[in-house]
Amino acid sequence: MTKNADTITVAGVQLNTGLFINNEWVAGRGEPLQSIDPATEEVIATIQTATPEDVDDAVAAARNAFENTWGTNVSGQERGQLLFALADQVEQNIERLAALEVVDAGKPCAWARVDMEDTVACLRYYAGWADKIHGTTIEIDDKEKHAVARKEPIGVVAQIVPWNYPILMLAWKVGPALAAGCSIVFKAAEQTPLSTLLFAELVRAAGYPAGAFNLVNGVGAVTGDALARHMDVDKIAFTGSTATGRRIAVAAAQSNLKAVTLELGGKSPNIVFEDADVGEAAKWAAFGVFENMGQSCSAGSRVLVQAGVYDAFVAEFKRQAEAFAVGDVNDPKTFQGPQVSKLQFDKIMGYIAEGKKGARLVTGGERHGSKGYFVQPTVFADVEMGTKIADEEIFGPVASVIKFGSEEEGIKIANDTSYGLAAAVHSQNYARVQRVTRRLKAGTVWVNQYTLLSHAIPFGGYKQSGWGRELGAAGLEPYLTTKSVHHYYGGPFEWPINLSKL
């Protein structure tokens, strides 16, 4: 590794462009990567990337830290104090981090700031867990034996996050991993690397030992694949597309059979029954699909509406969609910014073109403006199951409204998907809410709301939406392993013995 002092200034923030390994900035040996502002379509930064050899260096640093200066060498109380210090560093730099995500990810400034506030809260939540990770003492029918099950950090973990919530998704993974005592090799999405470069500086400022957190930027096919296949990585955590998740699972199995958690795609149903408050349901439905430019794995992109309120709902849903301010990401009143990249923009416009062939376009359906990757909030009605916009994850501001008749039909349509990340039920009938939520095949179900989460509540999916859970106490478990210790303190060994007592 060679030291790297190359720096750039983006949105008034000075950043190092290299890799962060062993608490030092070093030169990446991969092909340079350009970051493009999706609101202007202009290149704003060029950063360095990691080759498989650079990944080897980062993993070696993480392993050395885990075995010698981190991991089980540091008490839970110390880990908690460091995580609180890191949360403080993030809080002190909220404006700088938010400014980077505005230009790198296209987030409206108000939303970017909310993401940073949530990041601070998530880190503090897991800081509180660090000294509360306990094993168990197990009762055994033997007066000469004692047994305990210890909870220990799983080891060196690789973490890969998507571009839709760069720092917030980082917190979901880094928080529990550091609380547990794991050392980390982290890869940001290739489209949105900038805020993570600043975060690495904050890790060092918080006082973490060298190697506890390492950052290797790069493209998934090179850097991500090297992490998934690495023989000295004990676990990999990935959030992103289902297709990439499959490849990571295969690579993990083909290498050292490392542990895997995956938070993947979704095509979530948002079900509006005839006994719902239609006005409120329309507001939540619009928020649930258009928030973050529709770039959310749990977006309620299938809006299922019962026949008796269908027309009234569609009219109100249209009004809500058209009320959102789209455009200037630096205006605090702006709700929707651009899509993250031209690739994503083109993909979304392709789905809209498909939708126009069969469904009824209620509003939107075009590019917003002439510069930047902006898409109008789009609503299709009279959508039929089996069509592309009904079945496939669009990951953009496109809603498909589907009519259903009976409660049974609504549940059937809701579950008719290969995904199972989230769902919602809008109804004023308590008995109906209980019946429906029990039968929905989804990891998160909202009732009379949508998209709001808590750091204390587990999040994850059924079916092809992934393996495992993040957030809450459940979010710690993937970063822990259980060691059973059998302690015999009886007399000398003699044969024959009563094996059942040992």
Exposed, middle or buried, 376 (CB in 10 Å: 0-12/13-18/19+)?
Answer: buried
Strands in 205-356 per DSSP E: 213-215, 235-239, 259-263, 269-272, 302-306
The tokens describing 77, both together, are 């109380």
Residue with tokens 């822990």: 480
Q: What sign has the CA pseudo-torsion 191, 471, 57, 202? A: positive
* HEC string for 102-163: HHHHCCCHHHHHHHHHHHHHHHHHHHHHCCCCCCEEECCCCCCEEEEEEEEECCEEEEECCC
Q: Is 316 a catalytic residue?
A: no
Contact present, 143 and 491 (Cβ < 8 Å): no
Catalytic residue among 190, 263, 316, 470: 263
For residue 24, is it left (φ>0), alpha (ψ between -120 and 50) or beta? beta
Exposed, middle or buried, 361 (CB in 10 Å: 0-12/13-18/19+)?
Answer: middle
Exposed, middle or buried, 354 (CB in 10 Å: 0-12/13-18/19+)?
Answer: middle
Q: Which residues are identified as catalytic?
A: 263
